[in-house]
Amino acid sequence: MSALLEVSGVSVSFDGFKAINNLSLEIGEPELRAIIGPNGAGKTTFMDIITGKTRPDEGRVTWGEKSVSLLSLSESRIARAGIGRKFQRPTVFEAQSVRENLAMALKNPRGPFDVLFYRKSDRAARRIEEIADEIGLLAQLPRRAGELSHGQKQWLEIGMLLAQDPRLLLVDEPAAGMTPAEREHTTDLLKRAAETRAVIVVEHDMEFVRRLECKVTVLHEGSVLAEGSLDHVTRNKDVIDVYLGR
Ligand code: ADP
């Protein structure tokens, strides 16, 4: 496992308040990583930095074999470099079918003029079915996305991100509002997605994090408080103090 993303000594302040404070962490490829921490720990700001939405005041964020600095790239360049982000609320095209949603998201492997052709090609059709199978929506391909359950919409959106073949997928609280069965499916889906790429899951639900069976990074006051297995970090005295609010 080699480092895909390296965050080193990053700080960012809002009106003098340090939301991220000398944060350093590395994400491998492939890897599944959970980021947890109390409200205000800096989890959203961290994702905003990685995706180019927020520029840090200091530090380095480098990407890939060539250690390209992400800090000089625009949000759209970062997305094209292979970083996909799933926000909490699903944003699918409700009036279109599941198949059409996935087709629209497919990355065009050639030039922009081939895009319409590619989306209609056999290869694209096969890829759509592969992704639908991966997210558990194969039987739903002809259905309107608006008719899907909340959980299914979340999976469709993850599928739309997978269609763009990201090297790193950031997922914000994927289990929120899901039934226990949907959570279980989401766990499997994320584990499978992380077999071939880096996936970072920001999550509050500890039971969900436990099922991910992955390395956990605990953020607190904009820095890494602890890192390791969930059992390891939840035994850490500082982590216990922070979660119990001492
Ligand atoms: P989390 O996602 O872990 O709850 P955030 O990254 O949203 O934490 O926020 C970290 C801290 O930075 C919080 O105290 C929050 O109020 C503050 N913060 C985040 N974004 C802004 C902003 N745009 N302006 C001012 N303060 C902000």
13: CATH: 3.40.50.300
The domain tally of the chain equals 2
> Is the domain of 14 the same as that of 71?
yes
Ligand 1 centroid–CA 70 distance in Å is 21
- The confidence score (pLDDT) of residue 106 equals 86
Q: Is residue 91 a contact partner of residue 83, using CB atoms and an 8 Å limit?
A: no
Out of 165, 199, 220, pick the residue that ends a domain: 165
CA dist list (Å): 108 to 78, 104, 234: 17, 10, 44
- The confidence score (pLDDT) of residue 194 equals 97
| Helix segments in the chain, DSSP class H | 43-50, 75-81, 98-105, 115-120, 122-134, 150-162, 180-193, 206-212, 230-235, 237-243
Out of 102, 136, 165, pick the residue that ends a domain: 165
Q: Which two tokens stand for residue 112?
A: 């922009």
Q: Which atom of ligand 1 is nearest to the CA of 20?
A: 10
Q: Would you say the CB of residue 45 lies under 6 angstroms from ligand 1?
A: yes
- The confidence score (pLDDT) of residue 18 equals 97
Q: In what order do the strands lie in the sheet with 17-29?
A: 17-29, 2-14, 58-63, 68-69
CA diameter of the chain: 60
> Is the domain of 183 the same as that of 78?
yes
Q: Which atom of ligand 1 is nearest to the CA of 222?
A: 10
> Is the domain of 78 the same as that of 181?
yes
- The confidence score (pLDDT) of residue 108 equals 59
> Is the domain of 67 the same as that of 174?
yes
- The confidence score (pLDDT) of residue 129 equals 95
- The confidence score (pLDDT) of residue 11 equals 98
Mean pLDDT by 10 residues, the chain (246 residues): 90 97 98 96 97 97 96 94 92 94 77 58 89 96 97 96 95 94 96 97 93 97 97 94 78
Ligand 1 centroid–CA 159 distance in Å is 29
> Is the domain of 189 the same as that of 219?
yes
> Is the domain of 144 the same as that of 203?
no
Provide the 10 A C-beta neighbour count for residue 240: 12
> Is the domain of 78 the same as that of 173?
yes
> Is the domain of 36 the same as that of 107?
no
- The confidence score (pLDDT) of residue 121 equals 79
> Is the domain of 37 the same as that of 109?
no
Nearest-CA residue for atom 26 of ligand 1? 14
Half-sphere exposure of 246 (CA within 13 A, CB side): 6
Q: Which atom of ligand 1 is nearest to the CA of 37?
A: 3
> Is the domain of 155 the same as that of 171?
no
> Is the domain of 115 the same as that of 175?
no
> Is the domain of 28 the same as that of 150?
no
Q: In what order do the strands lie in the sheet with 215-220?
A: 83-86, 168-172, 198-202, 31-36, 215-220, 223-228
Out of 165, 196, 229, pick the residue that ends a domain: 165
- The confidence score (pLDDT) of residue 29 equals 97
Containing structural domain, residue 109: 90-165
